[in-house]
Amino acid sequence: MKALFIVNDGPYGSERPYNALRLAGTLTSRAGCEVKVFLIGDAASCARSGQKVPEGFYNVQVMLNKVIRSGEVGVCGTCMAARGIADEDLIEGLHKSTMAELADWTEWADKILVL
């Protein structure tokens, strides 16, 4: 199965990114599953490196690192610019992406989850 997760919400304002990344991370460990995550809108903030959260609280950077090990994560370049996120601010292994790449990933995917 090829799964595409399109995440829209900021990292800590709702549980959507948390739940999307939990599922994406779980699927990366399954045989025959390929996963891609596209961070768009406020979710571009999920891609910022060096996140510090209270002890015991989930860390989106750690969750994205799990996905990166076996999948691919793109961040909307327009959304990055609107939020003042530079390429060097991204978590290692993530990349600035485009609508064209999201369109390619959409054609590639068997399942698309928009959260």
Sketch out the chain's domains with CATH numbers.
2-114 (3.40.1260.10)
Q: What does the DSSP 8-state code read for residue 30?
A: S
Q: pTM of the prediction?
A: 0.95
Q: Across residues 80-93, what is the average pLDDT?
A: 97
pLDDT of residue 94: 97
Cα(24)–Cα(19) distance, integer angstroms: 9
Say what percent of the chain tops pLDDT 90.
Answer: 89
Q: Which two tokens stand for residue 85?
A: 């996120």
Say what percent of the chain tops pLDDT 70.
Answer: 100
Q: Which of 101, 74, 106, 104 is nearest to 90 (CA)?
A: 74
Q: Across residues 24-40, what is the average pLDDT?
A: 96
Name the band, by pLDDT with cuts 50, 70 and 90, for residue 14. Answer: confident
pLDDT over 90 at 109, yes or no: yes
pLDDT of residue 55: 82
